[in-house]
Amino acid sequence: MPPQPVLDAFGIAGPLKKLEGGKGSAWLADGLVLKPRDLLPQELEWLDTRARELSHGGPLRLSLPVRSTAGNLSEEEWVAYGYLPGEYTSGRWLEKASVALAFSGLFTGEPRPPFLDERNHAWAEADRFAWEETSALGGQEIPYVPELVAARRPVDGVPCIIHGDLTGNILEHPGGVPAVIDPTLYYRPVDYAVAIIAVDAVCFEGASLSLLESMSPGQAFPQYLLRALLFRIVTDALNHRQEAAFGAYRHTVERVLDRAASHR
C-alpha cells in the first residue's frame, strides 16, 4: 500500500482500492492508479512528453504517468497513472492484434528511445537474446531454447516503437475506444508485438493452436513467433520460474518449429 507521504504528494484524499491483476501492487484512488515504480525515470519522462503528445486525439486511450503536486513523476519510488475505465476481455485476439498495430501507428517515424539501452531487467535481457543482440544466459540450460535458436532466421521487418506486453493490458469500454495500460516499450517490427499476443493467447489463455496461423498469414510470421517464444521463455528463466512451468510452451513450440521449417 502506498504510504501517506505518497498520497499527499499526489493530492490523494479518497479511500484506496486494491486493483486486481498485474503484480497485485496497484491501488486506485481519486482517479489515479498508484503503483511501485518499475520504469526508468527516462521512460516515465518519455511517456509523459512524447507519448502524451503523439497519442493525443488518436485511436487509443493510453495510461500515462501523472506528475505530483511538486512536479515529479515519482515520489518515494511510487508512480501515479491516470485511471482509464474499461474491462479486460479474454479472446478477441485479432482485435488485439489491431490494437498492436494502432499503438505502433501512434509513433510512426519516432526514433528509437535511448532509454532502451539502459534497461537491465529480465524482460529487456530476454528481448535482446531473442533478437541476437546478446548470447549470454548465465550458463543456464533453458527448455526449448536451443531448438528455437537453431530455427531462427533473419527477418526484414522495419523496427518501430511497439508495446511488448499487450495481451492483458487492453481494456474494452462500451461505446469507447480501447484503453492500453502499462506501456512496455520496445523498438522492433510490429509483427513481433502481434506474435507475443499470439504466443500468450495459446500458451496461457486457452486459444487454439490454429491462432498461430490465423493471427498473420505472412510467410515471415513464424520467425516472429520464434522470437516471441524466446522472449517469454528466457524471461521466465531469468525470473527463476520453476522448470515444470515451461510445459505450457511445449505444443506452441512444436507448432512454431513446424511452421518455421515449412517456410524456409
Task: Answer yes or no: do 69 and 127 share one domain.
Answer: no
Q: Which residue has the cell 461505446?
A: 175
Q: Residue 216 has what pLDDT?
A: 83
User: What are the cell numbers at 184?
Assistant: 512496455
Q: Residue 50 has what pLDDT?
A: 97
Task: Answer yes or no: do 98 and 221 share one domain.
Answer: yes
Q: 243 lies in which domain range?
A: 93-262
With beta carbons less than 8 A apart as the criterion, state whether 21 and 88 touch. Answer: yes
Q: Residue 110 has what pLDDT?
A: 98
- In the chain, the N- to C-terminal Cα span, in Å, equals 52
Along the chain (264 residues), what's the average pLDDT of each consecutive run of 10 residues?
96 93 88 96 98 96 97 98 93 95 97 97 97 85 95 96 96 88 96 98 96 90 98 95 91 97 82
Q: Residue 145 has what pLDDT?
A: 96
Q: Residue 54 has what pLDDT?
A: 97
Task: Answer yes or no: do 113 and 75 share one domain.
Answer: no
Q: Residue 136 has what pLDDT?
A: 78
Task: Answer yes or no: do 100 and 12 share one domain.
Answer: no
Task: Answer yes or no: do 70 and 113 share one domain.
Answer: no
Which H, E and C letters describe 15-55, residue by residue? CCEECCCCCCCCEEECCEEEEECCCCHHHHHHHHHHHHHHH
Q: Residue 251 has what pLDDT?
A: 98
The answer as to whether 227 is a domain residue is yes
Q: Residue 173 has what pLDDT?
A: 84
Angle between helices 250-262 and 190-204 (to 10 degrees): 140
The answer as to whether 88 is a domain residue is no
| Total number of domains in the chain | 2
Q: Residue 22 has what pLDDT?
A: 73
